[in-house]
Structure 1
Amino acid sequence: MTGDPDEALLARVAKGDPAAVRALMARKLPRILSLAQRMLGDPAEAEDVAQETFVRIWKQAPKWKPGEAKFDTWLHRVALNLCYDRLRRRREIATDAPPEQVDEGPAPDRRLLAADTSVRVSGALQRLPERQREAVVLCHYQELGNIEAAAIMGVSVEALESLLSRARRALRGALADMVER
């Protein structure tokens, strides 16, 4: 064992153990869905990315070499690459249709304000450059440490901190009027 908490489970997945597949899905799916949702801003696309990520895990598990990389780092990188593929395709297909919004019906003022805040923050996050968005999502929403997030992104910790700093400044500027309320 290399100290990777997922190594034994991944070895069982490689042997085709259905219980191991379910356990790995239960352990990792919520975070991957959250990551994809924040990167793409679309729940249906996020589900597609999560599904494709786990298909790749299932296919690659027999080839996994313990100790070469931490499984969680590889998992996040696969999910991020799939998100970037979708974001590239979006740029190639121009659309004038606004994104679908779920109407949750009437709600108390606080819930409406929270929903408005969430939409504004999500919108501001979507307008960040991809690398800055990736840094924010990994560190703030996925709650990864700077060292692990930098490894996933393939940058130094200093470069990650620079991306985070620029992203925070941009978000502060985009959301400044909310703070004044």
Structure 2
Amino acid sequence: MEGLSDQELMARIAAGDAAAFRILSRRHAPRALAVARRILGSSAAADDVVQDALLRVWIHAPRWRPAAEPRTWLYRIVVNLCLDEKRRPRAAPLEAAGDVADPGADAAANLEARERDHLLAAAVAALPPRQRAAIVLTYQEGLANAEAAAVLDTSVGGVETLLVRARRALRAALGGDD
């Protein structure tokens, strides 16, 4: 069953096939989790969102349209749940201090790279949720603008507008040329 396409797995899931659901989950949950972590900035909240998204896939599988890509449908559910989560007022969780530096690498270069990564992550986290989602989906997850548009339930032009605004805000936040 591992060799089945996502569409074939979804057809089986719609019929109640738990084994097909496990395969589809194993195939796409890690990337969905990465998307949720990047949007939410919290591993615990991302885990909850992805579990909820997978549960919704299982429950609503009979409503899935075969013309739709299952990965895009899952990402859309994840992004929508992330946006809902971001709207809820909460105290910010205390995240880990960061990755341990490679002891064999140049310490100054490691420090500079970590600082640059931290500044970029902070600037992305400060973006409005839909702009952040567009950046995560296109740049970090490598989705085409058309796929990102399907996930965000907007047009390709809408995604491009979100990306232009996000890049402009990132350049301003990071002190780049405008």
Q: TM-score range by the shorter chain?
A: 0.7 to 0.9
Q: Which residue of 1 aligns with 2:96?
A: 101
CA distance 1:99–1:15, shift in 2 (3 Å): same
Q: Which residue of 2 aligns with 1:76?
A: 75
- Take 1:157 and 1:103, find their aligned partners in 2: how far apart are those partners? 35
Q: Which residue of 1 aligns with 2:12?
A: 12
CA contact (8 A) 2:76 2:150 kept: no
Q: Which residue of 2 aligns with 1:142?
A: 141
Q: Percent identity?
A: 45
Q: Which residue of 1 aligns with 2:33?
A: 33
Q: Which residue of 1 aligns with 2:125?
A: 126
Q: Which residue of 1 aligns with 2:172?
A: 173
Q: Which amino acid aligns with 2:94?
A: P
Question: How far did 1:31 drift?
Answer: 1.4
State the SS of the aligned residue for 1:167. helix
Q: Which residue of 1 aligns with 2:162?
A: 163
| Cα deviations by residue, 1:16-53 (Å, 9 ceiling, x for unpaired) | 33432222112111211111011101111111111111
Unaligned runs of 5+ in 1: none
CA contact (8 A) 2:127 2:166 kept: yes
Structure 1 runs (4+) deviating above 6 angstroms are none
CA RMSD, 1 decimal: 2.3
- Take 2:38 and 2:139, find their aligned partners in 1: how far apart are those partners? 11
| Equivalent residues, number | 169
CA distance 1:141–1:104, shift in 2 (3 Å): closer
CA distance 1:8–1:126, shift in 2 (3 Å): same
- Take 1:76 and 1:137, find their aligned partners in 2: how far apart are those partners? 11
Q: Which amino acid aligns with 1:8?
A: E
- Take 2:95 and 2:46, find their aligned partners in 1: how far apart are those partners? 14
Q: Which amino acid aligns with 2:55?
A: V
